[in-house]
Amino acid sequence: MQHIHFEVTGRTILTVLLLLALVVGGLALVWVLINPGWAIGIGLVLILAIRGLFALFKPHSE
């Protein structure tokens, strides 16, 4: 069985927070400029993609 090891540093946390702020800002622009429905749809797709990544890297018991 292989294990994946991630180290979380302060710089990693700041990078994640910056990416989160950019995504939220982008969704806010879509909400204002295009349509709230599009922003909600994109947000749901992003949530599903992130959950899929977590499921992919989560160790499963067999």
The reported pLDDT for the residue numbered 5 is: 75
pLDDT in tens, 9-62: 889 889 989 999 999 999 999 999 999 999 999 999 999 999 988 888 777 765
- Is 3 within a domain? no
- Is 4 within a domain? no
Q: Are 23 and 46 in contact (CB under 8 A)?
A: yes
**How far is Cα 57 from Cα 51, in angstroms, rounded to an integer?**
10
CB-side neighbour CA atoms (13 Å) of 43: 16
With cut-offs at 50, 70 and 90, classify the pLDDT of residue 6. Answer: confident
The reported pLDDT for the residue numbered 62 is: 58
Number of domains forming the structure of the chain = 1
pLDDT at 1 over 70: no
- For residue 28, the enclosing domain spans 10-57
- Is 52 within a domain? yes
**How far is Cα 28 from Cα 35, in angstroms, rounded to an integer?**
10
- Is 44 within a domain? yes
Q: Are 16 and 31 in contact (CB under 8 A)?
A: no
The reported pLDDT for the residue numbered 58 is: 77
- Is 62 within a domain? no
- Is 45 within a domain? yes
